[in-house]
């Protein structure tokens, strides 16, 4: 079977983990097929690329052309609106959902004016709320490139997703992991998505063996909230849900880009009502002015 993946080290590493897990469960051999996506070649910042999908559409094209059987994405790269031609056949158990600081110092110990790099308006907004005295620098490139900017002295620190650093074996570079009370992650952060064509019931059933129900309900609530806030990838929205088997707890925040204002709320419900929970919490946040905070930053 052919698994389509982006070509970056992080993507191929996490795709190989998924391939190995399927082979272990089913005995089927799986071959990785590398695909270059628009998001990999463009020099534009993700915030300017009109929301999510830039890393996804090339992989979906290969599914439609039957050049691959299924694709593995980072879930936070997937558009929140589901395309009916495709099915999310599995969302494997989520790894670490949190953000990590890479550099020689902890966040509180960075000197005023220190330069902190990140590719995400969400992180810039939330970090600014915690430490407005630092300089936040938008950066692009893969994890190695970003970490290299600290080693070279161009930046004092960078903030990256903890799960990705763990997958490429760069745990030793982590100075600090931010708890969700400080930095709420991007909806779906740390989770992977296994996608195939909707007209392949045999394949959907096969791929379903790696689906993790608590992860699915949690990320479904997070993405439902994001979809209702119409936030795309560049508006500062953070969300994290957890499902203990009985109750689904969802916390979300919308932060003004400068970090000075925020609307933060939590809700709880049944795991089976994940979509509704996300929508309801988004509506409550809008009632408290979240849409005003997003304003010019929404698409």
Q: What residues act catalytically?
A: 76-77, 122-123, 140, 146, 233
Burial of 8 from C-beta contacts in 10 A (0-12 / 13-18 / 19+): buried
Please answer whether residues 293 and 261 qualify as being in contact, where contact means their C-beta atoms are separated by less than 8 angstroms: yes
Burial of 111 from C-beta contacts in 10 A (0-12 / 13-18 / 19+): exposed
Cα–Cα distances in Å, from 248 out to 117, 175, 222, 274? Answer: 33, 31, 11, 7
**Residues 46, 51, 52, 53: what is their CA dihedral angle, to the nearest 10 degrees?**
-100
Question: What does DSSP say about strands 115-118 and 135-138: parallel, antiparallel, or unpaired?
Answer: parallel
- Residue 247: both structure tokens together: 């109750």
Those residues whose C-beta lies under 8 Å from the C-beta of residue 22, and which sit 6 or more positions away, are: 1, 28, 30, 207, 209, 210
């Amino acid at each position: 079977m052919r698994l389509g993946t982006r070509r970056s080290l992080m993507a191929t590493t996490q795709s190989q983990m998924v391939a190995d897990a399927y082979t272990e469960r089913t005995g089927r051999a799986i071959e990785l097929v590398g695909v270059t996506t628009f998001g990999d070649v463009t020099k534009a910042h993700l915030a300017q690329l009109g929301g999510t999908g830039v890393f996804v559409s090339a992989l979906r094209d290969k599914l439609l052309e039957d050049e691959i059987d299924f694709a593995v994405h980072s879930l936070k790269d997937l558009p929140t609106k589901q395309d009916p031609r495709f099915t999310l056949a599995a969302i494997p158990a989520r790894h670490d959902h949190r953000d990590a600081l890479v550099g020689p110092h902890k966040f509180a110990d960075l000197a005023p004016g220190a330069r902190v790099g990140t590719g995400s308006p969400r992180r810039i907004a939330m970090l600014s709320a915690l430490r407005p005295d630092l300089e936040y620098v938008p950066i692009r490139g893969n994890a190695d490139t970003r970490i290299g900017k600290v080693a070279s002295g161009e930046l004092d620190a960078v903030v990256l997703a903890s799960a990705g650093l763990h997958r490429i074996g760069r745990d030793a570079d982590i100075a600090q992991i931010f708890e969700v009370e400080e930095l709420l992650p991007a909806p779906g952060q740390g989770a992977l998505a296994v996608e195939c064509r909707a007209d392949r019931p045999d394949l959907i059933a096969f791929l379903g063996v790696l689906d993790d129900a608590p992860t699915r309900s949690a990320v479904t609530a997070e993405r439902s909230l994001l979809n209702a806030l119409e936030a795309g990838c560049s508006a500062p929205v953070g969300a994290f849900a957890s499902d203990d088997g009985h109750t689904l707890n969802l916390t979300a925040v919308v932060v003004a880009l400068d970090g000075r204002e925020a609307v933060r709320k939590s809700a709880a419900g049944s795991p089976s009502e994940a979509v509704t929970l996300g929508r309801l919490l988004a509506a409550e946040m809008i009632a408290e002015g979240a849409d005003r905070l997003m304003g010019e930053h929404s698409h």
